[in-house]
Structure 1
């Protein structure tokens, strides 16, 4: 892999990591908060596992990025995201 290709591969890996861990905040319902924390725990755990395995074996950033994306799809967002209440200026 040349330097340009290597940089693109690691940029892709970093994007996959951010996408996996950057999930919307949950609504204020207790069940949504629980689901949010559980999702983050699952996703952080598999990101860590994929990176550890990648460092030990293939050292292929594109393979790791693909694995992270596939695992993210297996753990979709199932809770209601938080929504900011929009108030009009006349209500103040």
Structure 2
């Protein structure tokens, strides 16, 4: 049986940054909101991919904290710019 080893803090921080960047609210049913959601997800995914590709290309000198900071900067620069879907089911989400 494989022994479970906790994730190092810097790995967990990088993964958290990726999840936070890609965790977007569902857009309203308006076409313009769906398009904005798609473009925002596309932008954030691109930057997460760039950070992860750089990490994989420079395996001998990883800087996970810098990669996580890069993802967070890109995420902060591109906030949700559309109307999220609103229903009784989603009202409890924050």
2:71 to 68, 72, 92: 68
More helix by share: 1
Alpha-carbon RMSD: 1.9
Q: State the distance in 2 between where 1:46 and 1:67 align.
A: 8
The alpha carbon displacement at 1:56 in A equals: 2.0
Q: How many residues align?
A: 83
- TM-score scaled by structure 2? 0.80
- Gaps of at least 5 residues in structure 2 are 1-5, 90-94
Larger Rg: 1
- Gaps of at least 5 residues in structure 1 are 87-92
- TM-score scaled by structure 1? 0.82
